């Protein structure tokens, strides 16, 4: 189990002991260096045990049974919701809807708030930096409603162009959506400023927190976002767990997303009325164990302290940026300083295709991602087809950075 620490950064040796998968070695005896947490993080024993404990001791459907086991399952599920609310400083657990992932959270907003409020000729603003999950739902909404779409440009060093944002805000958009942290470039966007400026023209703001909530302290009240979407599986929680936070007055006025059991007040053959939030948006049997596992993940992260998680990743990123600059032919993308970025580093290595780079790194048991990272428009804007991406989390070490650099040097040797 994790021990409480009193230092500024993390005790990675103790943390690594909490993640059984990190003991994995390849046939050459090289331990796994996992640098793909931006796609999905690894899971600590506490989360794995929360899942198996639920199935062993508390498994029953929730909100329905009048027997003890169902009441226990319901209490654990609602406890997990309270942990989520606390973690992001939401004013109430009912403002936190359990969904499967960020993608579902954003689609929920587009299909409910969007269909209710967006009309032909209205403007929806997203950004060129967005993940497809924060682009395509707005495209679908625009197609259905006849709304217009516009996208905030990205500067040469991988930041949102806030002058262009201001230009678009002068057109008084109905909704502004953006990523707090870019999954391709690691850029930490000035979310509070963007929210403030968007609110000044009356827009509703959707923050994609998939890459920020797992890595930075999050305070939705300070941020003042109307909606915040994030994925549990990227924050040491189970696959299939995710959250949509929304301001209560907005959620309360929204129609349901899916219809079915659990989301109704009264059903007649021809019509129905809706349950209060959050149940209105959780039709059918939810992923109960996964939500409880997300609660365990939040307890794990909270015990470490998100300030320390951030500081650890900032330090690793700073060293990694310096070391990677020394690799011949390597071109870094995104902001140049660790202060402005989370632990995500995208790069090109000379003429070597990112898939070849990733395959060679895999041969050294270094797991990185290669491709467009679900950001095809951003790749086009940057003039690249794909990048290699290394992403850090709380269990990564300076030794992992060494292994990454050594494997890249090997790739250079193989190709030259
Ligand atoms: C910024 C960002 N938004 C959205 C998503 C989609 O997350 P999920 O696949 O969990 O829905 C991701 C996943 O990588 C992401 O990085």
pLDDT tens by residue, 73-117: 999 999 999 999 999 999 999 999 999 999 999 999 999 999 999
**Is 211's C-beta closer than 6 angstroms to any atom of ligand 1?**
yes
Question: What proportion of the chain, given as a percentage, has pLDDT over 90?
Answer: 96
> So what's the pLDDT on residue 14?
96
CATH topology of domain 4-43+305-415: 3.90.1150
The set of catalytic residues is: 374
Sheet containing 369-371: give its strands across.
330-332, 344-349, 387-391, 369-371
Using one digit for the tens of pLDDT, what is the confidence trace for 233-249?
A: 999 999 999 999 999 99
Mutate to test the pocket of ligand 1, among 36, 40, 98, 131 (most ligand atoms within 8 A of CB): 131
Which residues are CB-contacts of 196 (< 8 A; sequence separation ≥ 6)? 224
**Is 212's C-beta closer than 6 angstroms to any atom of ligand 1?**
no
Mutate to test the pocket of ligand 1, among 39, 231, 334, 346 (most ligand atoms within 8 A of CB): 231
Angle in degrees, 0-180, between the axes of helices 136-145 and 102-109, rounded to the nearest 10: 20
> What are the extents of the domains in the chain?
4-43+305-415, 48-303
The beta strand positions in 226-378, using DSSP E, are: 227-231, 242-246, 264-267, 272-274, 330-332, 344-349, 366-367, 369-371
pTM over 0.95: yes
- Look over the chain and give the mean of its residue pLDDT values, rounded to a whole number: 96
Q: What is the mean pLDDT of residues 264-272?
A: 96
6 has pLDDT over 60 = no
Q: What is the mean pLDDT of residues 125-149?
A: 98
Indicate left, alpha or beta for 186 from its phi (over 0: left) and psi (-120 to 50: alpha): left
> So what's the pLDDT on residue 1?
34
8 has pLDDT over 90 = no
> Do 174 and 147 touch, CB atoms closer than 8 A?
yes
Distance 186 CA to ligand 1 centre (A): 13
Instruction: For ligand 1, atom 12, name the residue with the nearest CA.
Output: 210
* Chain-centre distance for alpha carbon 28: 34
**Is 103's C-beta closer than 6 angstroms to any atom of ligand 1?**
yes
> So what's the pLDDT on residue 3?
34
The beta strand positions in 42-122, using DSSP E, are: 96-99
The minimum-distance atom of ligand 1 relative to the CA of 234 is: 10
List Cβ<8 Å contacts ≥24 apart for 64-73: 64/262, 73/288
Distance 358 CA to ligand 1 centre (A): 20
> So what's the pLDDT on residue 9?
81
**Is 41's C-beta closer than 6 angstroms to any atom of ligand 1?**
no
**Is 208's C-beta closer than 6 angstroms to any atom of ligand 1?**
yes
Least-confidence region, from 65-69, 136-140, 364-368, 371-375: 65-69
> So what's the pLDDT on residue 7?
47
Instruction: For ligand 1, atom 7, name the residue with the nearest CA.
Output: 102
Q: What is the mean pLDDT of residues 143-169?
A: 97
**Is 210's C-beta closer than 6 angstroms to any atom of ligand 1?**
yes
Distance 34 CA to ligand 1 centre (A): 18
Mutate to test the pocket of ligand 1, among 136, 177, 183 (most ligand atoms within 8 A of CB): 183
184 has pLDDT over 80 = yes
275 has pLDDT over 50 = yes
416 has pLDDT over 90 = no
Distance 35 CA to ligand 1 centre (A): 16
**Is 127's C-beta closer than 6 angstroms to any atom of ligand 1?**
no
Least-confidence region, from 39-43, 64-68, 120-124, 373-377: 64-68
**Is 290's C-beta closer than 6 angstroms to any atom of ligand 1?**
no
**Is 131's C-beta closer than 6 angstroms to any atom of ligand 1?**
yes
> Alpha-carbon distance 154 to 169, whole Å?
16
Using one digit for the tens of pLDDT, what is the confidence trace for 317-330?
A: 999 999 999 999 99
Q: What is the CATH number of domain 48-303?
A: 3.40.640.10
Instruction: For residue 275, give the DSSP letter.
Output: P
**Is 101's C-beta closer than 6 angstroms to any atom of ligand 1?**
yes
The minimum-distance atom of ligand 1 relative to the CA of 103 is: 11
Residues in the chain, overall count: 416
Least-confidence region, from 4-8, 29-33, 189-193, 379-383: 4-8
Using one digit for the tens of pLDDT, what is the confidence trace for 172-182?
A: 999 999 999 99
148 has pLDDT over 70 = yes
Where does the pLDDT of residue 64 fall: very low under 50, low under 70, confident under 90, or very high at 90 and above? confident
159 has pLDDT over 60 = yes
Q: What is the mean pLDDT of residues 248-260?
A: 97
The minimum-distance atom of ligand 1 relative to the CA of 183 is: 16
List residues bridging with 346 in a β-sheet. 389
Instruction: For ligand 1, atom 15, name the residue with the nearest CA.
Output: 210
> Do 352 and 415 touch, CB atoms closer than 8 A?
yes
> So what's the pLDDT on residue 65?
75
């Amino acid at each position: 189990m994790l021990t409480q620490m009193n230092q500024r950064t993390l005790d990675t040796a103790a943390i690594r002991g909490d993640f059984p998968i990190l003991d994995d070695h390849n046939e050459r005896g090289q331990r796994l260096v996992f640098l793909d947490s931006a796609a999905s993080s690894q899971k600590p024993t506490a989360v794995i045990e929360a899942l198996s404990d639920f199935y062993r001791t508390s498994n029953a459907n929730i909100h329905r049974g009048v027997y003890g086991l169902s009441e226990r399952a319901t209490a654990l599920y609602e406890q997990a919701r309270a942990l989520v609310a606390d973690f992001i400083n939401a004013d109430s657990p009912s403002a936190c809807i359990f969904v499967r992932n960020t993608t579902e959270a954003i689609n929920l907003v587009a299909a409910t708030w969007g269909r209710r409020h967006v009309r032909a000729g209205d403007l929806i603003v997203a950004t060129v930096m967005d993940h497809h999950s924060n682009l395509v739902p707005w495209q679908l909404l625009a197609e259905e409603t006849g709304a217009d779409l516009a996208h905030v440009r990205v500067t040469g060093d991988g930041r949102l162009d806030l002058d262009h944002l201001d230009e678009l805000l002068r057109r008084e958009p109905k909704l502004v959506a953006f990523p707090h942290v870019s999954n391709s470039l690691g850029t930490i966007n000035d979310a509070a400023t963007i929210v403030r400026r968007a609110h000044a023209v009356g827009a509703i703001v959707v923050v994609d927190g998939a890459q920020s909530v797992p890595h930075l302290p999050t305070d939705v009240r300070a941020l003042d976002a109307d909606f915040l979407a994030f994925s549990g599986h990227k924050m040491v929680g189970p696959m299939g767990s995710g959250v949509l936070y929304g301001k209560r007055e907005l959620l309360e006025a929204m129609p349901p997303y899916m219809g079915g059991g659990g989301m109704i007040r009264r059903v007649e053959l021809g019509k129905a009325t809706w349950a209060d939030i959050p149940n209105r948006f959780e039709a059918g049997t939810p992923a109960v164990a996964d939500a409880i596992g997300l609660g365990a993940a939040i307890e794990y992260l909270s015990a470490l302290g998100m300030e320390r998680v951030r500081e650890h990743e900032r330090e690793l990123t700073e060293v990694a940026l310096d070391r990677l600059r020394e690799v011949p032919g390597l071109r870094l993308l995104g902001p140049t300083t660790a202060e402005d970025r989370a632990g995500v580093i995208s790069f090109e290595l000379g003429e070597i295709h990112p898939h070849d780079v990733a395959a060679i790194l895999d041969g050294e048991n270094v797991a990185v991602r290669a491709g467009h990272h679900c950001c095809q428009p951003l790749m086009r804007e940057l003039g690249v087809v794909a990048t290699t991406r290394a992403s850090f989390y709380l269990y990564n070490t300076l030794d992992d950075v060494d292994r990454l650099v050594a494997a890249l040097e090997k790739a250079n040797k193989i190709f030259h």
